[in-house]
Structure 1
Amino acid sequence: MSWSEKSLDELGFVSRGRSRNRPRDAAHLYGGPYPFVQTGDVKHSGLYLTEYSQTYSEEGLAQSKLWPVGTLCITIAANIADTSILGIEACFPDSVIGFIPTQGKADARFIKYLFDAVLKLRYRQYTQGAAQDNLSQGKLLALKFLVPDDVKEQKRIADFIASYDELIENNRRRIQLQEESARLLYQEWFVHLRFPGHELVKITDGVPEGWEKKPIKQIATLNYGKALKAEVRVPGPFPVYGSSGEVGSHEKALVKGPGIVVGRKGNVGSIFWVNTDFYPIYFISSEESSLFLYHALKNVQFINTDVAVPGLNRNMAYSREILIPNHKNYQRFLSEAQPIQKQINNLQDYNNKLAQARDLLLPKLMSGELTV
C-alpha cells in the first residue's frame, strides 16, 4: 500500500471559523438555537463533538458560519492542535479551523488520529517561542505528512482505532449516568431535605434538628498547588488538573489522593473528585476530602470577583455555607455514594487502559509500521 506526502489543503477544504465579537461585547449574538463551539469544547470532546457551552442567536449566525456534521475541528489558539469531528452542525470562532475532507481523498477520522499521533506535537513545536503559542492557518498548511493514497486504507485504520474510542465513549456515558445518580441523591437528601426519616424531624429555617450550617472555612482548607505547563510534563500515571478538569498527565504527583480539585481561574468554582494521587493548581487535601464535601461543593454558588480574568476569591469562597447533617445521615449518604463512586472509578480505570492501548498502537498505525 503506497503512502504519499500531502498538506491538509490537498486532502480537503480548509478554512478558519468566524466570530467577530466576544459574549461580553455583544450579548445579543448569543443564547439562541445554534451551537457555538469553542477551543475548550474541542479539547474536552472525544472522537465526535456533540456537547458545547455556548450558542448563537440568529444575529450571531449571521456574522458566523454553520459548519456541517463531519467537519474536523482543529484548535489553533489556547490549546494547540486539539481535534474533534462535529457530530452536530455548529459555528466556531477563528481560533478553530475547519477541515472538510474531499470524498475519495481523505477520511476525517484518519486525519484526526494523525493529529493525535504525530501532528499535534509537530505543530506545538512549530509555535513555541512566540508571545502567544498560536497556530496560524498558514503554518497549519505549510507542513506535509504521510497518508495512504487509498482512502479505503485510511478508513480501515480509522475503523480499527475508532473501536477503542467507541468503548471509551460508551464507558464515559455510563460514568455520566452514575455521576447523575449521585448528584440527584445529594439533592434529594440535602437540598430538598427528603432524607430518610425526614417526616419525623423538625426543620427550622431550612435546618433539620441536629444539623447545622457551617462556612467552608470551618470545614476545609483551599490549598494552592502548582501550575504545570504542557511542555514540561512527562506523561505518566498521575493526572494533571486545571480549572477545566484533567488537562494531561505527569510522571510525578504533587499531592496524595483522593482529593477535591477546585477551579480558580476561568472556570470558577468547578469541582472535581480525583481518586488517585494528582497534580493540581487548587485543591482540598485527602485528609479533609470526602464524597459528601465533594457533592456539597458542587451545589455551592461561587462568585466571580475579577472582571478581566474571572477568578475565585478565597475569602468569599470560605464564607459560603454548607448544610452539615447529623452523623447518622452523613454515614448513610456515604454508604450510598461510595459504591457509586467505586463504579465510576472502575470505569475510569478501564478507560485509561483502553486509551493507553490505543495510544501505543496509534503512531505505528499512522506511520504504516503496522497494518490492519
Structure 2
Amino acid sequence: MTFNGWKEVVLEEVSYYGDEKIPSAEVTLDNYISTENMLPNKSGVGMASGLPTTKSVRRYKKGDILLSNIRPYFKKIWFATKNGGCSNDVLVIKNKDEKELDKKYLYYTLLQDNFFDYVTATSKGTKMPRGDKSAIMNYGIMLPPLNEQKAIASILSAFDEKIETNNQINEKLEEMAQALFKHWFVDFEFPNENGKPYKSSGGEMVESELGMIPKGWEVKTINDISSEIITGKTPSTKEKENFGGNIPFVKIPDMHGKVYVEKTETYLSEKGAVKNKIVPKNSIMVSCIATPGIVSLAGQSCQTNQQINTIINKDNKMCYFNFFSLRNLSDTIRTLGSSGSATLNLNKNQFSKIKIVVPPKEMTDKYFNVVDKIFETIYLNQKENLKLIELRDTLLPKLMSGEIRVPLDIETLAEQS
C-alpha cells in the first residue's frame, strides 16, 4: 500500500557506501569506530579500547550511518554525531541527495528489525557471517515526501534525545560513584576518625603483597569476597523448549556499555534454566571468555552463559565496592585471559584467585550508604530507557509504512500504538 507522494525505492537509488580514507594518525580513542566498540541491539557506540594498526582507515562524517558488517544479527548501528575514522568491517552509508532523502529518516529506516533480519538472511559465511554489500543496497525502503520524512524523524528523535539525556545523566552519576571509590579505596583518602583524608593526614600504612595498604585492611581473593562464583551454562539449543520463557539469559553482548543488565536478547524457559546457576539481583557479572573484563550488575534474577563468571556477594552491602573493584581489574582480567590461544579465556579457577585490597566492613557499609541512591537512579534511568526504546520501536514500522501518518503529537502516537 502506498500513499500520495510516497514511493518505494531500493537503498542504492538514494544512498551509497563511503570509502574515503584518512591516515590512522588522525583518529583518536574518542572518534575511532570498530565492530568492537559498536554496541549491540542498536545501542550506538562506546569508547574504543585501542587504535588501529593499519596506515589508514575509512573516513566517516557527522550525519553518516555506520553499520557493523560482521555478525549483523548483533544489530550494531550508529548515526554519527561527529567526524572520525572506522575499520573496514564497518560500512559507512551516505545519502546521495539531501533534497530527496533526510539523513535521520534513512537512519530510522535502517534501525528497523526488518532491515537487520534482511541483512542477516542475505549475509555470507556461517561462523563469522558478513553482510552482503550488494544485497544491502538492494533493500527496499518507503520514501515519503521530504517534509514528511523530516516530521517522522523528528518524532522518533524525541525518544532518542530523552534516551541520550538519561545516558548522559547515568555517565555522570557513575563517574561520581567511581571517583569516590578511587578516593577512598585506591588513593586511601577515606575519612579517618576525625573526618580527614586518611593517607595524607598521616594514617598508618603497612606492607602487603599488593603494596602499601592502610593498617587493618587485608588482601583477599575474589573467592574470599564471594559466597559463590557461578560460571554460566547454555542449555541445548537443539531443544527449542529450553528458550522463550521469562528468565533473562545474559550473554556478553547484553553487558556492553551497561551498569545494570535488565533486558537480554535471549530468555530461558523453566525447562531450560539450571537450578544451581541462578544469579541474584546486584550480583557482579564478569566476562571471562572472548572479550574478558566487561563488568555489569545483574538488574534482576537471571542466568548467564558459560563465557561469564558471576560473583554472588557474600555481603550485599559490598556489591558496589565489588563492582568497581572488578571494573578496576578489567586490564588484569584481559591480561590473564590472553594465554596464547586465539580465543581469550580466563577460567573460573584463575578468576577466583585474583587478589584485591579489602577494607574493614564499616568502610564498605559507609560507601554503600553514600552511593546506593546513585545506583538506584542509574537503574531507574535504564528502566525508563527500555520503555522509551520499546515505544520507539513499536512506532517505527508504523510510521515508516504510513500506517500512522504525521504530523501528530507524541501523545496521540502513543495512544495509537
Please state whether the residue corresponding to 2:265 is helix, strand or coil.
Answer: strand
| C-alpha distance in 2 between matches for 1:129 and 1:88 | 32
Larger displacement relative to structure 2 (214-223 or 348-357): 214-223
8 A contact 2:21–2:59 mirrored in 1: no
Q: Kindly indicate whether residue 100 of structure 2 is the aligned counterpart of residue 100 of structure 1.
A: no
Pairwise CA distance, 1:295: 1.4
For the structure 1 residues 313 and 337, does the alpha-carbon distance in structure 2 shift closer, same or farther, using more than 3 Å as the test? same
- Cα displacement string for residues 276-319 of structure 1 (whole angstroms, at most 9, x for unaligned residues): 12342313254546122111111222223233222224333323
Q: TM-score, normalised by structure 2?
A: 0.76
| C-alpha distance in 1 between matches for 2:344 and 2:25 | 19
Q: Kindly indicate whether residue 205 of structure 2 is the aligned counterpart of residue 203 of structure 1.
A: yes
Q: Kindly indicate whether residue 62 of structure 2 is the aligned counterpart of residue 69 of structure 1.
A: yes
Q: Kindly indicate whether residue 332 of structure 2 is the aligned counterpart of residue 306 of structure 1.
A: no
| C-alpha distance in 2 between matches for 1:319 and 1:131 | 33
* 1:295 corresponds to: 324
Aligned partner of 2:39 among 27, 43, 46: 43
| C-alpha distance in 1 between matches for 2:88 and 2:63 | 18
| C-alpha distance in 2 between matches for 1:227 and 1:31 | 42
* 1:173 corresponds to: 168
Aligned partner of 1:315 among 336, 346, 349: 349
Aligned partner of 1:355 among 381, 389, 398: 389
For the structure 1 residues 122 and 248, does the alpha-carbon distance in structure 2 shift closer, same or farther, using more than 3 Å as the test? farther
Q: Kindly indicate whether residue 294 of structure 2 is the aligned counterpart of residue 270 of structure 1.
A: yes
Please state whether the residue corresponding to 1:177 is helix, strand or coil.
Answer: helix
| C-alpha distance in 1 between matches for 2:265 and 2:128 | 23
8 A contact 1:240–1:248 mirrored in 2: yes
| C-alpha distance in 2 between matches for 1:48 and 1:87 | 10
| C-alpha distance in 2 between matches for 1:361 and 1:352 | 14
* Runs of at least 5 residues in structure 2 that lack an aligned partner in the other structure: 193-197, 407-417
Which amino acid counterpart does residue 7 of structure 1 have in structure 2?
Answer: V
| C-alpha distance in 2 between matches for 1:167 and 1:121 | 27
- Cα displacement string for residues 175-217 of structure 1 (whole angstroms, at most 9, x for unaligned residues): 0111111111111111111111024752212232222111122
Which amino acid counterpart does residue 85 of structure 1 have in structure 2?
Answer: F
For the structure 1 residues 151 and 41, does the alpha-carbon distance in structure 2 shift closer, same or farther, using more than 3 Å as the test? farther
| C-alpha distance in 1 between matches for 2:26 and 2:156 | 36
Which amino acid counterpart does residue 166 of structure 1 have in structure 2?
Answer: E
- Cα displacement string for residues 219-278 of structure 1 (whole angstroms, at most 9, x for unaligned residues): 224322135999x87596847331652684344486332221101123312211122123
Q: TM-score, normalised by structure 1?
A: 0.85
Aligned partner of 1:78 among 71, 77, 102: 71
For the structure 1 residues 295 and 32, does the alpha-carbon distance in structure 2 shift closer, same or farther, using more than 3 Å as the test? same
8 A contact 1:259–1:283 mirrored in 2: no
* 1:339 corresponds to: 373
Pairwise CA distance, 1:146: 2.1
For the structure 1 residues 258 and 130, does the alpha-carbon distance in structure 2 shift closer, same or farther, using more than 3 Å as the test? same
* 1:136 corresponds to: 132
| C-alpha distance in 2 between matches for 1:279 and 1:348 | 20
For the structure 1 residues 37 and 234, does the alpha-carbon distance in structure 2 shift closer, same or farther, using more than 3 Å as the test? farther
| C-alpha distance in 2 between matches for 1:173 and 1:229 | 39
8 A contact 2:71–2:120 mirrored in 1: no
Please state whether the residue corresponding to 1:345 is helix, strand or coil.
Answer: helix
Aligned length: 360
* 2:361 corresponds to: 327
For the structure 1 residues 3 and 227, does the alpha-carbon distance in structure 2 shift closer, same or farther, using more than 3 Å as the test? farther
8 A contact 1:113–1:158 mirrored in 2: yes
* 1:25 corresponds to: none
8 A contact 1:4–1:146 mirrored in 2: yes
Q: Kindly indicate whether residue 118 of structure 2 is the aligned counterpart of residue 122 of structure 1.
A: yes
Which amino acid counterpart does residue 97 of structure 1 have in structure 2?
Answer: L
| C-alpha distance in 2 between matches for 1:287 and 1:51 | 29
Which amino acid counterpart does residue 179 of structure 1 have in structure 2?
Answer: E
- Cα displacement string for residues 104-142 of structure 1 (whole angstroms, at most 9, x for unaligned residues): 121222222222222112222333874532212112123
8 A contact 2:244–2:267 mirrored in 1: yes
Q: Kindly indicate whether residue 81 of structure 2 is the aligned counterpart of residue 87 of structure 1.
A: yes
Which amino acid counterpart does residue 152 of structure 2 have in structure 1?
Answer: I
RMSD: 3.3
* 2:265 corresponds to: 249
Please state whether the residue corresponding to 2:84 is helix, strand or coil.
Answer: coil
For the structure 1 residues 249 and 52, does the alpha-carbon distance in structure 2 shift closer, same or farther, using more than 3 Å as the test? same
Pairwise CA distance, 1:333: 1.0
Q: Kindly indicate whether residue 216 of structure 2 is the aligned counterpart of residue 213 of structure 1.
A: no
Please state whether the residue corresponding to 1:217 is helix, strand or coil.
Answer: coil
8 A contact 1:17–1:93 mirrored in 2: no
For the structure 1 residues 33 and 249, does the alpha-carbon distance in structure 2 shift closer, same or farther, using more than 3 Å as the test? closer
Which amino acid counterpart does residue 43 of structure 1 have in structure 2?
Answer: L
8 A contact 1:257–1:285 mirrored in 2: no
| C-alpha distance in 1 between matches for 2:125 and 2:62 | 35
Q: Kindly indicate whether residue 310 of structure 2 is the aligned counterpart of residue 284 of structure 1.
A: yes
| C-alpha distance in 1 between matches for 2:313 and 2:185 | 23
Please state whether the residue corresponding to 1:309 is helix, strand or coil.
Answer: coil
